[in-house]
Amino acid sequence: MPARVLVAKPGLDGHDRGAKLVARALRDAGFEVIYTGIRQKPEAIASVALQEDVDLVGLSILSGAHLGLTRKTVQALRDYGVGDIKVVVGGTVPESDVQPLLDMGVTAVFPTGTPIETLVEEVRRITAGDAEQTVPGPPPS
């Protein structure tokens, strides 16, 4: 049975090209993917995660509000009784914000520029239960 992944765009960020690319790549790699669309509230993301019985929630955030939106989403998952679902964050994340995201329980951070193949491999590893916290990051320049 393939792992179920929820790709979500929390907050007011309306740029969804990257999230759609990630959703398509994960689907093509054999994952079951649920995509929420743009401008989702953390509570709505947690509700969908519960209803769809997902193994992982991937947050795509380009707006700069990644710390607050991730914190609210992680808390909403706990409030809905599914705080054990792994959460990863991708998008415009400055290096200085990576550790605070990991500290709030995020399993992996995929900054802009992370190769899609790396993201797919890491999601495969995480959903297989081999989930140490990681920051794959973009390729060296």
134 lies in a domain?
no
Q: What percent of the chain has pLDDT over 90?
A: 86
Which residue range forms the structural domain that includes residue 55?
A: 4-127
Q: Based on the structure, what is the number of domains in the chain?
A: 1
Query: Taking 80 as the threshold, does the pLDDT of residue 5 lie above it?
Result: yes
- Establish if 132 belongs to a structural domain: no
CB 57 within 8 A of CB 49: yes
Going 138 to 21 to 2 to 7, the CA torsion angle's sign is positive
Name residues whose C-beta falls within 8 Å of residue 95's C-beta, 6 or more positions apart in sequence.
Answer: 111
Is 86 a domain residue?
yes
Residue 115 in any domain: the answer is: yes
| CATH number reported for the structural domain that contains residue 49 in this entry | 3.40.50.280
Does residue 137 fall inside a structural domain? no
**Is 105 inside any structural domain?**
yes
Asked whether residue 23 is domain-assigned, the answer is yes
Which tens digit of pLDDT belongs to each residue from 25-56?
999 999 999 999 999 999 999 999 999 999 99
The type of residue at 67 is L
CB atoms within 10 A of CB 14: 10
For 133, how many CA atoms within 13 A lie in the half-sphere containing its CB? 13
